[in-house]
């Protein structure tokens, strides 16, 4: 299903000429692949597209009231899906949405509030990071035609190449944590309860870990890459994300050639979002 979605979108790209890979491809792929994985109908594509845009606007503006209103709008979509599945009973599709309805924690079923919260978290993370990752990968390969051609000829190198490109240009810039006990980090003492921002993008270019950190290399130790986190905070969706990104880039390189456009620059997304808001490329 992932491959078919990728192929459909690639075939609708302009065969020659210019296109913004973000608005014309990356966001569509992230949206369609999330709905397919969760078992949501195609009618949800456009409402979710509009919701994602409003959610990003509210987040960037720091408008808590708008953010809360957008969250309630999303909740209504999910509650409709849960109602449909409950009414279907044993005929409900076997997908992650239905399985959450049957999930138990400490001997009790999840509440609707818990299910909606889980799905909202999955959806926000999936739509934003997958779209950002596709844009980063396309831009990097367009700017490095020799690497693009190597991966076209040796697609088995794509998984490692994707992780390395996303180490260099992070789709996830940072995350927040709270210290649970007094600790000393880098010579600075922190008390329990202090709020921290962890910059994954900086950690993945740490000269103490990565020799020549700004250089693309396929021989790095993958265990050092914090793209998907580490330890108890490792991303449980990492295998799914890798499958999606490897599949879409395999099909894209098989069918198209990506080139930068002289005089046209990509536009960086606003912090805390990683990647780009626009990636103009020539697609052949």
Residues 6+ apart with CB under 8 A from 173: 199, 200, 201, 271, 272, 273, 274
Place of tokens 């049957």: 102
Number of Cβ atoms within 10 Å of the Cβ of 159: 16
The Cα 131–Cα 22 span in angstroms is 7
Q: Residue range 242-269: average pLDDT?
A: 96
Residue 67 domain-assigned (yes or no): yes
Q: What is the pTM of this model?
A: 0.92
Residue 232 lies in a domain: no
Separation of alpha carbons 129 and 150, rounded Å: 25
88: nearest Cα among 80, 32, 77: 80
3-state secondary structure of 118: helix
Nearest to 85 by CA among 63, 115, 48: 115
Closest CA to 33 of 71, 62, 1, 64: 1
| 120 occurs within a structural domain | yes
Chain CA centroid to CA 83, Å:
28
Contact between residue 200 and residue 169 where contact means Cβ atoms under 8 Å apart: no
Q: End-to-end CA distance of the chain, in Å?
A: 25
A 10 A CB-CB count for 78 gives: 22
pLDDT confidence tier of residue 47, bands split at 50, 70 and 90: confident
Residue 254 lies in a domain: yes
CATH of the domain at 258: 1.10.630.10
Classify residue 155: in a domain, yes or no. yes
On whether residue 259 sits in a domain, the answer given is yes
> Domain for residue 233, yes or no?
no
Give the 3-state secondary structure of residue 280. Answer: strand
Number of domains into which the chain is organized? 1
Give per-residue pLDDT as tens, 69-105: 888 888 888 899 999 999 999 999 999 999 999 999 9
Residue 57, domain member (yes or no): yes
Helix (H) or strand (E) holding 13: none
Task: Give CA 197 to chain center in angstroms.
Answer: 20
Asked whether the beta carbons of 132 and 147 are under 8 A apart, the reply is: no
Domain range for 120 is 2-171+238-283
Specify the higher pLDDT residue, 66 or 214.
214
Tokens describing residue 226: 């914090």
Q: What is the pLDDT of residues 182-234, one digit of tens each?
A: 999 889 999 999 999 989 899 999 999 999 999 999 999 999 999 999 898 89
């Amino acid at each position: 299903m992932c491959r078919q979605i990728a192929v459909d979108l690639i075939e609708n790209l302009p065969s020659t000429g210019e296109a913004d890979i973000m608005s014309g491809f990356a966001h569509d792929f992230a949206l369609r692949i999330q709905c397919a994985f969760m078992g949501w109908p195609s009618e949800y594509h456009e409402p979710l597209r509009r919701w994602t845009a409003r959610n990003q606007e509210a987040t960037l503006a720091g408008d808590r009231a708008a953010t809360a209103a957008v969250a309630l709008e999303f909740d209504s979509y999910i509650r409709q899906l849960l109602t449909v599945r409950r009414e279907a009973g044993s005929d409900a599709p076997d997908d992650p949405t239905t399985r959450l309805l049957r999930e138990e924690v400490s001997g009790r079923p999840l509440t609707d509030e818990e299910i909606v919260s889980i799905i909202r978290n999955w959806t926000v993370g999936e739509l934003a990071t997958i779209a950002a990752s596709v844009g980063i990968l396309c831009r990097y390969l367009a700017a490095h035609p020799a690497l693009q051609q190597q991966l076209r000829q040796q697609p088995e190198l794509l998984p490692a190449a994707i992780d390395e490109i996303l180490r260099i240009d992070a789709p996830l810039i940072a995350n927040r944590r709270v210290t649970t006990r007094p600790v000393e980090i880098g010579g600075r003492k922190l008390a329990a309860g202090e709020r921290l921002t962890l910059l994954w993008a900086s950690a993945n270019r740490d000269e103490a870990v990565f020799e020549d950190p700004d250089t693309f290399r396929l021989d790095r130790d993958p265990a050092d890459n914090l793209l998907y986190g580490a330890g108890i905070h490792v991303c449980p969706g990492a295998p799914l994300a890798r499958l999606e990104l490897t599949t879409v880039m395999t099909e894209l390189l098989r069918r198209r050639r990506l080139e930068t456009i002289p005089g046209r620059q990509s536009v960086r997304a606003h912090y805390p979002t990683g990647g780009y808001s626009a990636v103009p490329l020539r697609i052949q």
